[in-house]
Amino acid sequence: MIAVMKKRATLTDGASDVADLTLNGVRSAYNAERAWWNEIKPEMHDVINTHVGGPVRNIPIRIYKPNDLKEGPTLLYLHGGGWILGNLDTHDRVMRLLADFSGARVVGVDYALSPEYKFPVAINEVRAVLDWLQAHGPDHGLDSARLGIAGDSAGANLAVSVTQLCHQQSPGLIQFLLLYYGAYGLTESASWQQYGNAEFEFTREEKEFYLTSYLGDAHDRNDPRFNVLKGDIGLLPRAFIAAAECDPLQDDSIALYKAMERESRPATLKIYPGVLHSFIHYSRMLDQATEALRDGADTLNECFS
């Protein structure tokens, strides 16, 4: 992990944390750094870029079909980046590895970013893509009857939120959640006390920057569409919850796992030792990143076998 941190420092040209940069500066630095981690990636049988009509704009999506073209489930992937960063390119290797390891068709969603599009626009866009999958997925070789949602960080938050909302009307639509180091509603916790500082590359100032960019009014922080721990946990399907040990969001994952246990919902929690938030990006150098992606892919296959 330390080797990764040193490499990242060379890729960001010494850029400081997000609180000290303009929004465009943050995005430019993030995209430039992620480009190196995405240079080497598995080949796919097919990669299709298309659009889905959404509530405020056309939503770009990318469909990954792995070389193993046996019938596989569909995994919707929602990228991280604090709701203000990230796109289909910054998470390209992650999505390809999940498709390669699992045999699933992975559908990446380039949902609208904040602050240009604030909460809950991204949630509504993901729901529009789910509606499209039900209506048109089979036309693109996608099995909409065997459907999971995956995400990392902010994307994991969106995955849980969207699942809770969808299952209010259509229970069982989503059969699996694959969640990497998500933000589920805790803003103060023991892990924030321990790891919420520059040494672990995730500060309280950054957290506030992300939250104020994404959310509108202060009461949005208690809205169950954001604070998903206050939502209906009993509506969630089987989940694989992956957490990073040296991450201020570690306790969010533990809290979600315990909440699912209380509701007798099937869930697995795995905390990967010695790694920071965002660690699944670094599989070019970090074995735990590959391990976590393979663990998620294996659990997906168990769910649909």
Give the whole-angstrom CA distance, residue 272 versus residue 244. Answer: 5
Which domain covers residue 177, as residue numbers?
2-304
Task: Give the model's pLDDT for residue 15.
Answer: 58
Catalytic residue among 102, 114, 153, 191: 153
Residue 292 CB: number of other CB atoms within 10 A?
24
Distances in whole angstroms, Cα of residue 235 to Cα of each of 141, 165, 169, 170, 231: 28, 9, 10, 10, 9
CB 182 within 8 A of CB 249: yes
Q: What is the mean pLDDT of each run of 10 residues along the chain (305 residues)?
A: 95 65 88 96 97 97 92 96 98 98 98 98 98 96 96 98 97 98 94 96 93 93 97 98 98 98 98 98 98 98 94
Task: Give the model's pLDDT for residue 19.
Answer: 56
Q: What CATH number does the domain containing 248 carry?
A: 3.40.50.1820
Catalytic residue among 92, 110, 223, 247: 247
Q: What is the widest separation between alpha-carbon atoms in the chain? A: 49
Task: Give the model's pLDDT for residue 14.
Answer: 59
User: Residue 237 carries which DSSP code?
Assistant: -
247 is catalytic: yes
Task: Give the model's pLDDT for residue 285.
Answer: 97
Catalytic residue among 277, 278, 281, 295: 277
User: Residue 128 carries which DSSP code?
Assistant: H
* Total structural domains within the chain: 1
Q: Which amino acid is at 4?
A: V
Could you write out the DSSP letters of every residue in 153-196? Answer: THHHHHHHHHHHHHHHHSTTS--EEEEES---S-SS-HHHHHH-
Give the whole-angstrom CA distance, residue 4 versus residue 278. Answer: 11
pTM of the model: 0.97
219 is catalytic: no
CB 174 within 8 A of CB 149: yes
